[in-house]
Each structure stands twice: as structure tokens, then as C-alpha cells.
Structure 1
Amino acid sequence: MPRPALRRVLVLDDFGGIAAGAADWSGLPAEFLRAPVPDAERVARLAEADALVLIRERSAVPASLIEQLPSLRLVVTAGMRNRVLDLEACTARGVAVCGTDSQASPTVELTWGLILALARQIPWQEARLRQGEWQMGAGLGLEGATLGVAGLGRIGAGVAAIAHAFGMRLLAWSPNMTAEVAAAAGATLTDKPGLFRGADIVSLHLGLGASTRGIVGAAELALMRPGALLVNTARGPLVDKAALIAALESGHLGGAAIDTHEPEPMEAEDPIRRAPNTILTPHLGYVTQQNARRYFEGATACLRAWNAGLPLPRPLNDAARDSQGTLP
């Protein structure tokens, strides 16, 4: 049977209020939710929505939630992967799922912003200046220093490419990395202990899963050189938070820059807020004007294709690959 037109589209977790202005939503029954919906209210708040637009992985949509949303017909997620959306449950329920285009370069850029800020102590030197003080201590120069890159996907490879412009040495590791992949990025393949032992700065670019959660713990941090730096623009739970705080408080680790956290938004009493020598950013890696346009222009294109009975762009499951424009 023909697709019914969408009656209520919810755009979840639009923390920065950027979705409405990043694309043309005219004619679409879209509502933009700026704050996360509390777990206890999620079923009631989402029950009448027939389409959800997810901004990356800000809100989990597990099978237990999908089963309680009888009106849901379509989910659009920013990007082409979403580890907190149960794709199998959507498929089983006949809920179509589509993705959107995205860029890797914004996270690469932020990673280098954090590396430079840590290495040259920019936040702390700037704070001293504002307090009427002058320079104190010396930062780390990047030329000749060693960058350890954990993961050489689109983002990790982009970070590695820029390291060469600074004249840095490169080490690379991930659980499944080959010497050929490392060599293509101009890096030397090493094992995990070798990466943490040999780098002045370690930058994390691994996906999060059961095998990588807590993959950086007390043992890895202890291997790092005194004063070495850690940057995480991948996923917060890759690092054992308690071990990281202990390494910072002891002075063994020179500093850490962290863009990703669990949960998000970060809790007010999260102990990482009080850890010394940290730069904390609110998951800004992919948040640029250009990426927002890609996300939400892609989302509106999918919503309009649904209403027009056309094939859905960037399908992620069989329900979305229905070329005839009918419900399964």
C-alpha cells in the first residue's frame, strides 16, 4: 500500500539549536527538541512520532524503545553508522532507516586544535595572562616529537597526514592494523605497549565496542612517558576514566584533551571536570556549519522522498531499500 505522509517528525537532541537553520524544513511537520528526553518520559514523548531524526549517537534507540513506538515508520540518522540505534529491531518492525552524508575533516581539525592547545599549554597560559601573570614553564614543540595514532580510519589517517606537516614521527596501532595500512599513512606499525611507550602524544581514533571499551587503562597510561599527552576525540569509554584521573592527579600524565564523554551531556558532578591539566570540550568533533548542512539537508531529502513515495536516499536497511515506495 502507498506510504502515508508523515504527520509528526521529531528531531532529537538538537543541543545547539542548529538543525532548523541548517536546511529547508518547509512543509515538513518537524519539531526540534533541544534537551535530551529523560528515560522515564521517552515512550510518552515519542509515541506519536512517525519519524525520528537522530543527531549522531546522542540518543539511544534500542529495541526496547522501538517496540513501544507503534507509529514509527522512519528513522534518519546523521552519518551512515549509529551504534546506539538497533538496526535489526527497526528492520523487524518494518521501520525504514536512512543515513546522511558527513565529513571526517571537522574531527581531524578539532583533534589538531586540541593537540596544539595541550602541547603549547594555551588554555593555562592564557588564563595566567588574564590574571595579570606572565609565562610560566615551557610547552612541547611538535617538530621531531612522536605522535601515536590509535586507529587509521578516515579520521585517524587525516590526523596522521597533518602530523607530517609538523615534522613529527608517527607510530600507529589498532587491534587489526597491518603494516601496509600504517605505511600508507607514513607511520610505523607497533603494538599497543609500543604505541603508549614510544609516543609523546597519543591520539585515539578507534570505534567503540565490547572489545575496545576501556582499551586504555592504568597499564597503558603507566607506559606513557612522564609528561606525555593524551587526546580523545573518538569515544569517551575507550579510556578508563578513573585511571586517567589518577594519572593526571599524580602528574605522570602531562595533560589530556577529551571531546567525547559518557553520558552526554556530561553530568555536572563528573569527576573529570576537576582533574588537572585537562581540556574538555562538549563533543564538538563533527559540529561544524558545513557538517550540519550535510546532515540536515540529507535528513530533509529523506523525509521528502518518503512523502513523495520515492526511493529513499542512503538506505541502511531493507525497509528503506523499498524501491517501489511502499511499506513492507
Structure 2
Amino acid sequence: MRTCLILDDYQQAALALADWGRIADRVAVSAIAEHIPDRETLRARIDQAEILVIMRERTPFPAALLERLPRLKLLVTSGMRNLAIDVASARSRGVTVCGTESSPTPPTELTWALILGLARHVVPESRNLRDGGPWQSTIGSDLAGATLGILGLGKIGTRVAEIARAFGMRVIAWSPNLDEARAAAAGVERAASKEALLEASDVVTIHLVLGERTRGLLGEAELRRMRRGAVLVNTSRAPIVDQVALVRALEAGWIAGAGLDVFETEPLPADSPFRRLPNVLALPHLGYVSRNNYRTFFTQAVEDIEAWLAGSPIRELG
């Protein structure tokens, strides 16, 4: 009997959202709900497992960890891209790495939850109402007629643009590879430059893949170009924005606020300024966390394991 561990099952949902019984006669499956940040503690908990199922980048698997897991043979990650796995190192050690599909719908919807929450001050107004604070203490911002700037016009960015048009917003977009034809096909204006987008937008939302060209894409100079009444929303990856500069921008009022679902260290440290800044609407990386997405992740994880057991792995990461 092979051993499979599911890591970082925060909501204890993995075993309920897929039919693990399909492999029960060949694989003993169990889940770990808590996050284990210490690498040595983690290694001790998982070193007997031949199969690991992980959720996005919650737990990194660099070469230094992989080389200390000699029993590991199959690593399954949710999504088809996971920069926290050293895939080349895994392959060199005979570890197969497979992924699952992921829908762009949940992160699209969460992006709008953050935009609307910031525009209408949902959290502070709700807190005041519950705590007996002032009745109506803020004035909301109108989305109709405002400009939404989208950095990254892929699957998620395109869907965000569709919803923005329904709100009556002007939509502009920019990315290093975006051309006029693709922008027109998505029904948006192509900004002449990143700087032009930042200067023109009332809301800036990030939907880029993290890479060498996008890491630190928005630093102090870029944040200072934004309108003082504008807000920044990031449901992509934290390092796309210089985090020190972002804190300064929020503290000094270069921008009005930020909606953040991603952080450089997750779970977010207790002393992080993003936990205390009053103009931040922060969520614990919920963009992809929805029932349908989880059902897809774990159902396809079972399929990945079945295929690997049969000697024909599917959805391998390159």
C-alpha cells in the first residue's frame, strides 16, 4: 500500500470534494490541515509519503527539500503552474510532477469583491454598524464613468474587463506583450505604456504572471504616478509590487487604498503592516478558493494518481 499525504488542507475539504475511494485499495490517503512553515518539521511529517498533493504555492518544494525526501515519487499540485516547485530537481530525482486545471472564474469574482469593497467602504461601514459606531461615516466612489486599468489581459484580465463594462467603466489595459489587436478583441483600449495606464486609472488591477519581467514591476516611481484617489488591487502575486514601496504609498497617501489577496509570506505574519493599515482590504489568498475549483483540483489529483499508478502520468509539468 502506497502512502499519500495532502498538505495545507486549511478547510479540511480535500477528502470530501473528490472520490478518493477510487484508489483506496492501492493508496492510503490522509490530509494535514495545518500549515507547516519549518522545513525540518515538514520533512519529518512527510518523509514516508510516496505521493504528495499540494495546494498552489502554500508549501514550497525547492531542491533542498526534495533531496531529503527519498521516498517521494509523485508530487501533484493544484494548477498547471507552480513556481514554488523545483520541477527540474524533482525530475532529476525521479519524481513525477503533475498538475490540475484551474478556472479563471473564482479569481475574477474575488477581484470584483475587492474593488466593490474598497469603492463602497464595505468593511469599515459594516464594522461601524456592528460595533455601534457612526451611521454612514464614508462616501462611496462611483464605478460608472470611472477608469479601470488592467495590468495583464489574459483569461482573468479579460473577464474582469467584461464585468467592468457592465458597470459602465472605461477600461484600459497594458502588459509587456499586449498589442492593439488583442486589446480590441477584448473590447478595451490599449494603454500606450504602463505609466500612462497608472496615471489615467481610478482602479488598477493586476493580472500578470510573476516572472523576471514582472517582478517589482510597480515600485515607488510607478506608485507615485497613480492618482491620489485611486486604489490598487492585487490578486495575482505579491512580488509584482514592491511591498516596501506599497506600504509607504498607503501610509503617505500616494494612493487611496489597496485590495490585497496575495503576500510575499503566507500566512501573513502577525506584525505585517497590511494587517493594520486602515486603507487596506486584505484577504488570505482566497482568489482560487471556491467549491467548484476545489472539486476540480482534488478530482483531478485523484486522476493524476490513478494515471501514475497505471504507468502513464497525465498533466505533467514541464
Distance 2:117 2:133 in 1: 20
Distance 2:286 2:307 in 1: 30
Distance 1:66 1:39 in 2: 11
Give the CA deviation at 1:220: 1.2
Aligned length: 311
Structure with more contact order per residue of length (Cα contacts < 8 Å, sep ≥ 6): 1
Q: Is the 8 A contact 1:205 1:234 kept in 2?
A: yes
Distance 1:96 1:199 in 2: 44
Q: Which amino acid aligns with 1:25?
A: W
Distance 1:239 1:274 in 2: 19
Corresponding residue for 1:36? 35
Q: List, as ranges, runs of 4+ consecutive aligned residues in structure 1 with deviation greater than 4 Å.
A: none
- TM-score, length-scaled by structure 2: 0.94
Give the CA deviation at 1:306: 2.9
Give the CA deviation at 1:186: 1.5
User: Structure 1 residues 316, 252: closer, same or farther in 2, change over 3 A?
Assistant: closer
Corresponding residue for 2:2? 7
Distance 1:166 1:303 in 2: 44
Q: Which shows bigger deviation, 127-136 or 93-102? A: 127-136
Q: Is the 8 A contact 1:57 1:83 kept in 2?
A: yes
Among 292, 295, 305, the alignment partner of 2:294 is: 292
Q: Which amino acid aligns with 1:221?
A: L
Secondary structure in 2 aligned to 1:143? coil
Q: Which shows bigger deviation, 100-109 or 238-247? A: 238-247
Matched, 1:228 2:230: yes
Q: Which amino acid aligns with 2:137?
A: M
Corresponding residue for 1:55? 55
Give the CA deviation at 1:61: 0.7
- TM-score, length-scaled by structure 1: 0.91
Among 3, 24, 29, the alignment partner of 2:19 is: 24
For 1:122-141, what per-residue CA distance to the aligned partner results, in whole angstroms no more than 9, with x for missing partners? 11222222224211232111
Q: Which amino acid aligns with 1:159?
A: V
Secondary structure in 2 aligned to 1:13? coil
Corresponding residue for 2:185? 184
For 1:136-163, what per-residue CA distance to the aligned partner results, in whole angstroms no more than 9, with x for missing partners? 2321111110000000111111111111
For 1:223-265, what per-residue CA distance to the aligned partner results, in whole angstroms no more than 9, with x for missing partners? 1111111111001121122221222222231111100112111
Aligned pairs (5 A) from 1:156-305: 156-190=157-191, 191-305=193-307
Give the CA deviation at 1:114: 0.7
Corresponding residue for 1:81? 81
Secondary structure in 2 aligned to 1:285? coil
Q: Is the 8 A contact 2:125 2:138 kept in 1?
A: no
Corresponding residue for 1:320? none
Distance 1:200 1:71 in 2: 52
Q: Is the 8 A contact 2:121 2:138 kept in 1?
A: no
Corresponding residue for 1:321? none
Distance 2:276 2:134 in 1: 22
Unaligned runs of 5+ in 1: 1-5, 318-328
Q: Which shows bigger deviation, 280-289 or 246-255? A: 246-255
Give the CA deviation at 1:315: 2.5
Secondary structure in 2 aligned to 1:139? coil
Give the CA deviation at 1:46: 2.2
Unaligned runs of 5+ in 2: none
Give the CA deviation at 1:36: 2.1
For 1:271-292, what per-residue CA distance to the aligned partner results, in whole angstroms no more than 9, with x for missing partners? 2111121111000000001001
| Aligned CA-pair RMSD | 1.4
Corresponding residue for 1:140? 141
Q: Is the 8 A contact 1:142 1:168 kept in 2?
A: yes
